């Protein structure tokens, strides 16, 4: 689209010059920081917390993170902001970082993830101070890594990070309210599912900008960019459904021996990846259009919140001597 004179592009060009020069030694570190902010990485971290460390914190992170993904998807398809290298040909992102730069640019999904998991931990006052500082610093480094690697503008990362932390703060308040009004959990579930479905429908039905390059090719396919929004809706609906079913019919606990936690960790991660990398890919092929990514991501969080807890509860009960 030519050259852009905005301050955000100037900042990215400065980062780019630094990255290609004296800052080249920081590329591996920034790639690792970006990696721990990816959706798949954050989700498995949260699953491990939910299964093995603290069910209470795991529920908090799952509810907040899935909510963050819906909000991020809503903002992306509303703003329809192009990636920096599409806006200005002088921006040349780090090649590997572009592999995870999916969807529209604003706000940054990695930064929203960072705000959800690491920022969401940093705002919990009951946690040790050094841990909160470390989590907060990690969230900021993940966000900055997306600028450093050239795949997001400053407004992308700071709005993404801020939105993530805000949603987590609201989630913390909501769960505190539910402790006083446990009978309202079904209402929360239906509202969460309804909002997610409405966002997915909005993304499927709205119109998207269409711009062409000099050769007459479409610069950005809006329907493809909306896939992240369908994923967010699927994750949220899967969590909401699994959360209520687990609460009603399973009631597993993380107050178990270390050996049991270790067993859950190994079997949980292995089985999750089997489901996520094999079954969900088949689902995407079976179900065309927006339904494919939505259903696949529903399966992921439903497995984490309901199916695996059901399996471990049955297996662990069967191992208890009569």
pLDDT in tens, 178-212: 999 999 999 999 999 999 999 999 999 999 988 88
| Weakest mean pLDDT among 20-34, 90-104, 137-151 | 90-104
Average pLDDT, the chain: 92
Please report where in the chains the tokens 């890594």 appear, as a residue.
145
| Weakest mean pLDDT among 99-113, 118-132, 142-156 | 99-113
127 pLDDT more than 90: yes
Model pTM score = 0.93
321 pLDDT more than 60: no
Q: How far apart are CA 122 and CA 134, in angstroms?
A: 8
Could you tell me which residues come within 8 angstroms of residue 256 by beta carbon, excluding any fewer than 6 positions away? 264, 316
pLDDT of residue 290: 86
Given pLDDT bands bounded at 50, 70 and 90, which one contains residue 6?
Answer: confident
pLDDT in tens, 206-243: 999 888 877 778 888 888 888 999 999 999 999 999 99
């Amino acid at each position: 689209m030519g050259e852009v004179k905005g301050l955000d592009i100037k900042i990215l060009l400065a980062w780019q010059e630094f990255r290609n020069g004296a800052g080249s030694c920081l590329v591996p570190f920034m790639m690792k920081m970006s990696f721990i902010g990816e959706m798949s990485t954050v989700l498995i971290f949260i699953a491990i917390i939910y299964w093995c460390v603290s069910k209470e914190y795991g529920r908090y992170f799952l509810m907040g993170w899935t909510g963050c993904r819906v909000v991020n998807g809503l903002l992306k398809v509303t703003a329809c902001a192009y990636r920096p290298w599409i806006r200005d040909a002088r921006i040349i992102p780090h090649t590997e970082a572009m592999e995870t730069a999916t969807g529209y640019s604003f706000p940054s999904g990695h930064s929203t993830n960072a705000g959800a998991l690491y920022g969401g931990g940093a705002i919990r006052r009951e946690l040790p101070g050094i841990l909160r500082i470390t989590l907060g610093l990690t969230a900021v480094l993940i966000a900055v890594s997306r600028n450093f690697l050239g795949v997001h503008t400053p407004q992308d990362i700071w709005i993404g990070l801020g939105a993530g932390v805000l949603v987590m703060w609201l989630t913390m308040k909501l769960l505190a309210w539910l402790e006083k009004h446990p009978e309202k959990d079904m209402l929360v579930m239906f509202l969460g599912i309804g909002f997610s479905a409405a966002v997915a429908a909005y993304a499927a039905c709205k119109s998207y900008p269409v711009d062409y390059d000099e050769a007459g090719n479409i610069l950005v396919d809006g329907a493809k960019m909306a896939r992240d929004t369908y994923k967010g809706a699927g994750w949220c609906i899967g969590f909401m459904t699994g959360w209520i079913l687990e609460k009603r019919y399973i009631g597993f606990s993380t107050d178990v021996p270390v050996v049991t936690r270790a067993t859950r960790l190994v079997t949980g991660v292995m089985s999750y990846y089997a489901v996520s990398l094999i079954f969900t890919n088949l689902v995407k092929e079976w179900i065309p259009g927006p339904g494919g990514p939505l259903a696949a991501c529903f399966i992921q969080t439903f497995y984490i919140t309901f199916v695996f807890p059901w399996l471990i509860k049955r297996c662990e009960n069967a191992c208890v001597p009569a």
